């Protein structure tokens, strides 16, 4: 009876951990998609449309004082046009932020492709349990 | 439901942190209603959990949404968004 209770507790713990992993994965997906849109948008739309769609800084418009994020939209437009030097002049942190966004997007796309390949290899044993040949996939979900 | 409440909680906290950046306080106008929806989902998840079932994730979502709402409101008030 005690052994059964322990196994049941372990299963509940595993199920809870799986839920947490799925939640983190979904949150990462939402953030990565948003970031990817931010990166891709300046390439698709003209600079005027991007500037109009971005929020205007209250600090600059009301008090005429630039904040740490001022010039970021213009810097992103300059980076998408290939003018790295201009982007650095507009906002010094823009290169770091843009490269972080880009790196995250690349990792996310690579993971998504890998996940799709793994899902193709996955074989269903029954309705409740999925078994994959991949060790990484198993370590993530089980 | 428990996973959904956790997702809402984490996203609400991230939204709150981004809202703390200078000039991005207006994000709380979106984040607070989002956290409220998460809070409702979390309450439902906690109440619907069966006997012996772990409620940890639902409670975590509840706390995260509550914190995001509270601090978002404070940030909005401090930034002059409410009064």
- The ipTM of this complex is 0.74
Q: Looking at the complex, does the CB of residue A24 fall below 8 Å from at least one CB of chain B?
A: yes
Mean pLDDT throughout A96-125?
84
Contact B65, B6 (CB under 8 A): no
pLDDT tens per residue across span B27-82: 888 889 999 999 999 999 888 877 777 788 888 889 999 999 898 888 888 777 66
Give the containing element (helix H, strand E) for A33: helix A2-44
Side-chain half-sphere exposure of A114, counting CA atoms within 13 A: 11
More confident: A125 or A47:
A47
Residues of B (17-76) whose Cβ lies below 8 Å from A:
21-24, 26, 52-54, 56-57
pLDDT of A101 over the 90 cut: yes
Supply the pLDDT for residue A127. Answer: 47
Question: Is residue A85 over pLDDT 70?
Answer: yes
Beta strand pairing status for A130-131 and A123-124?
antiparallel
B14 neighbourhood in chain A, CB within 8 Å: 27, 31
**Shortest CA distance from A61: residue in chain B:** B23
């Amino acid at each position: 009876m005690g052994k059964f209770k322990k196994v049941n507790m372990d299963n509940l713990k595993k199920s809870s951990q799986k839920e947490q992993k799925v939640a983190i994965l979904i949150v990462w997906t939402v953030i990565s998609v948003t970031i990817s849109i931010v990166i891709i948008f300046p390439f698709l739309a003209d600079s005027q449309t991007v500037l109009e769609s971005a929020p205007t800084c209250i600090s600059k418009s009301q008090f005429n004082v630039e904040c740490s994020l001022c010039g970021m939209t213009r810097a992103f437009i300059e980076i998408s046009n290939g003018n790295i030097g201009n982007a650095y002049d507009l906002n010094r942190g823009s290169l770091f932020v843009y490269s972080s966004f880009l790196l995250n997007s690349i990792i996310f796309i690579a993971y998504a492709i890998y996940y799709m390949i793994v899902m193709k290899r996955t074989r269903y044993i029954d309705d409740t349990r999925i078994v994959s040949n991949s060790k990484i996939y198993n370590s993530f979900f089980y | 439901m428990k996973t959904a409440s956790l997702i809402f909680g984490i996203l609400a906290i991230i939204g709150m942190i981004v809202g703390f950046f200078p000039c991005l306080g207006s994000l709380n106008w979106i984040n607070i209603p989002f956290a409220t929806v998460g809070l409702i989902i979390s309450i439902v998840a906690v109440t619907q959990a069966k006997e012996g079932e772990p409620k940890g994730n639902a409670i975590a979502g509840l706390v995260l949404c509550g914190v995001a709402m509270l601090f978002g409101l404070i940030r909005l008030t401090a930034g002059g968004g409410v009064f």
